[in-house]
Amino acid sequence: MSNFWKSARRWLPGVVISLAAIAAFVYFVDLEELASALRGADGRFLAAALIVSTSWIFVRAAVWRALLQNRASYRHVFLTVCEGYLLNNFFPFRLGEVGRAFLLSRKSQVGFMEALSTIVIERVLDLAYSAAILLLGVGFLVQAAGAETAAYLIGGAMLSGLVILYWLARHRAGAVARFERLSRRWPALQRLGGQFLSSFFAGLQVLTDGRRFLNILLLMTLNWAMAVLQFFLYIRAFFPAARWTWAVFGLGATAFGNAIPSLPGAVGTFEGAFAGALTLLTGDEAAALAAALTTHLAGYLVNGILGVYAFSTEGETLLGVYRQLRQQQESGQQD
């Protein structure tokens, strides 16, 4: 029981937040109007959105491969991205990100910590882009002055984080040497920590290559532009008068909503952020929730199909990889 409550401190807040969001939907949204909005969706825009959603993953794999400095084949990177997103949909604590690094390290020359460091850079860039996109969309909502301030703060924090990562990449030898001096009294920590930092900083090396990093930013910009198009198509399926600015604001709000603790797959928080943004714009709670539910379910569909394909192609199973990750975590704690 003691171990249960120690573990619960990690996952219980997310469960409570997701359940509270779901309860709010049921209480405030007329379910008959919701069903009517779902039935009235324009299938042409939904089909186009599914195509863009699938293409988005192919470009995201190219982004990660560029961060890896092309040290793994595109096929391996693409399959690993699909596997990681499927893990995120079913397991808590963004386990898919660790799973991506773990799985890629087993089928390429990229080490676990090197792969993980590139995922950290990817996430920092994602947050910076989401802040910029929210700032673009928030100007169209008079009521969103608080969101604008939050976007500036988060964007500034992400930019600062990127600068720190760049500084570490440029001065990695000095950082490792300082760690070794400080940890001299604890040989085991010095050995394990030194190996960790050396591999982690090796993954940050991409930040010091201006041309390669510019290519990464161009690919990331394309990836986020596709995300805006994807959101616009889903919104357009429910709102014939939808504007591009709705997709920009909705995507920015959803990106930050996904950062809130929740059940696996951002259940409840995704719908709350996206439907809340659309409700501010349209005043139609039922259609806004219908668009959010459809977008989220479509994401599950695309990630599910591609993830199952990736796992089956490589002879893996979802539960098998989860057990291996847990075993690695436990062995790491014992060490």
Distance CA 248, CA 227 (A): 9
Q: How confident is the model at residue 259 (pLDDT cuts 50, 70, 90)?
A: confident
Residue pLDDT, tens place only, 81-119: 999 999 988 877 678 888 899 999 988 888 888 888 889
Count of domains forming the chain:
1
Q: Which domain holds residue 115?
A: 55-334
Does 154 have pLDDT greater than 70? no
Least confident span in 118-127, 171-180, 302-311: 171-180
In a domain, 319, yes or no: yes
Three-state secondary structure call for residue 141: coil
Alpha carbon separation from 272 to 3, 34, 257, 285 (Å, rounded):
32, 15, 8, 11
Distance CA 271, CA 275 (A): 5
**How remote is the C-alpha of 172 from its chain's centroid?**
27
In a domain, 63, yes or no: yes
In a domain, 25, yes or no: no
Distance CA 287, CA 290 (A): 5
In a domain, 171, yes or no: yes
More confident residue, 198 or 110: 110
What percent of the chain shows pLDDT beyond 90? 36
In a domain, 194, yes or no: yes
Residue 194 backbone phi and psi in degrees, to 5: -65, -45
In a domain, 231, yes or no: yes
In a domain, 16, yes or no: no
pLDDT of residue 146: 54
Distance CA 204, CA 324 (A): 26
Distance CA 17, CA 4 (A): 19
C-alpha dihedral over 185, 191, 194, 197, to 10 degrees? -120
* Token representation of residue 128: 């910076």
Distance CA 107, CA 114 (A): 14
In a domain, 7, yes or no: no
More confident residue, 274 or 8: 274
